[in-house]
Structures are given as C-alpha cells and as structure tokens.
C-alpha cells in the first residue's frame, strides 16, 4: 500500500521560509513525476510545483522564483523549499504523483502571517 506523509509546515511571518518534505512508503518515488499541491480555504487544490523522474522542474506562476522542488531518490523523498512566503501561500500542502494517483496523505498546514 502506497503512503505519502507530508511534514514541515508551520506558522511563519511573511518573507520567511519553510521546507516541506514528503516521505513515501510502499513505492519508489523515483519512477514517478511528483508534485506539490496546495489547497487554501474555499479554493480548489492546485499544483504549485512539479518534478519529473528525470529531475526537470516547473512551477505555477504564483510561486515561480520563490519555491524550489527537489527529490532525493536515495531517501525516497520529495521536498519543497519555500522562500519569500506571502500571506496568499497559506494553505494545506500535499504531495502526490503527477498526474494524481490519490496517494496524498493528511497534508501539512502552512500559515503565513503579515
């Protein structure tokens, strides 16, 4: 059974940084394109960063230049470094494959205060 566990969220002031991590069990992440998604209150879940199995990355315009997605195949993890955080980045963040296979876990809450 595939399980993804997201961690690293928290409360941070605007302009601050957080690093999220996604750990997997039951599968090898390196074979998949992986993504970080987020869902803010009252909004649909959106893909904000993606990394292919080959390591190519792309980002939503709203986070480009501020967020960096990476993967550590030896540790079977995917991370999201978030810098220059804004209030509008407040959301629950999830990781899953791209396209979605509904492997995501409980998510990790990121709250950015002004």
Would you state the pLDDT for residue 74? 93
Would you state the pLDDT for residue 30? 87
**What is the chain's pLDDT, residue by residue, as a tens digit (114 residues)?**
889 999 999 999 999 999 999 999 888 888 899 999 999 999 999 999 999 999 999 999 999 999 999 999 999 999 999 999 999 999 999 999 999 999 999 999 999 998
- What are the C-alpha distances in Å from 84 to residues 5, 68, 81? 24, 12, 10
DSSP letters for 26-94: SS-GGGS-EEEEEE-TTS--EEEEEE-TT--EEE-TTTTTTEEEEEETTTTEEEEEE-S--GGG-EEEE
CA distance 17 to 23: 20
CA distance 34 to 71: 9
CA distance 55 to 52: 5
Would you state the pLDDT for residue 26? 87
Would you state the pLDDT for residue 36? 98
CA distance 82 to 6: 14
């Amino acid at each position: 059974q595939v399980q993804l566990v997201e961690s690293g969220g928290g409360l941070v002031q605007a302009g601050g940084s957080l690093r999220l991590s996604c750990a997997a069990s039951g599968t090898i992440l390196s074979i998949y394109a992986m993504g970080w998604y987020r869902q803010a209150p009252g909004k649909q879940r959106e893909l904000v960063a993606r990394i292919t199995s080959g390591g190519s990355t792309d980002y939503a315009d709203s986070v480009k230049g501020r967020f960096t997605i990476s993967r550590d195949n030896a540790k079977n993890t995917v991370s999201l470094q978030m810098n220059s955080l804004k209030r509008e980045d407040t959301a629950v963040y999830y990781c899953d494959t791209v396209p979605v296979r509904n492997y995501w876990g409980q998510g990790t809450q990121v709250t950015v205060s002004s």
